[in-house]
Amino acid sequence: MGARPRAGVRHARPEHALPDAGLVKALLLESLGMETGDSRQRCSVKGPLHHLENSLLFRAENIDLESDELPSQIAIKLCLDSPGHVPSPTAAISEAEALRQVYVHLATDPCYRVPRPFSILTEHGFVVTEWIDGWPLTRHCLDWRCSPR
């Protein structure tokens, strides 16, 4: 018998193959002007870490750049078009813009940690942001232990 999916996690049923960590790494390096064998990078990409109906989430670490273009850990989310489960550049652009607006308004507030968005890979359907450790706000809001009394 195969492994059962974790409770509460919806899995997409793609009609075609979705990108794996190797392809995501190649696209990331290409967008940063590096080739896969470039000695300046020691980047590793893990994932997909989460696979939902409309997205896949990857994590890139140890990004070794000569400039401060990106932090050392980033989140790379592939936005999928629900009917066909194909990458959706339109959804990625909309999501990246919405996140940019939230970041601009809340980044200076010490009560919130908002991931900084980066404008790379949206043409491939990806949203690239700073990686922030911890549970996402949505999970906290939906947790019965956090509900108002």
d(CA 141, CA 27): 33
User: What pLDDT does 4 receive?
Assistant: 43
* Single pTM value for the model: 0.76
Confidence band (pLDDT; 50, 70, 90) for 50? confident
Whole-angstrom Cα distance, residue 72 to residue 118?
13
**How far, in Å, CA of 41 to CA of 72, rounded?**
11
State the distance between the two ends of the chain, measured CA to CA, in whole angstroms. Answer: 43
Residues of the chain with pLDDT > 70: what percent?
A: 73
Burial class (CB in 10 A: 0-12, 13-18, 19+), 36: exposed
**Encoded tokens for 127:** 């949203």
3-state helix, strand, coil in the chain (%, to 5): 30, 25, 50
pLDDT of residue 6: 43
Classify residue 8 by burial, with Cβ atoms within 10 Å: 0-12, 13-18, 19+. Answer: exposed
Count of C-beta atoms within a 10 Å radius of residue 63 = 21
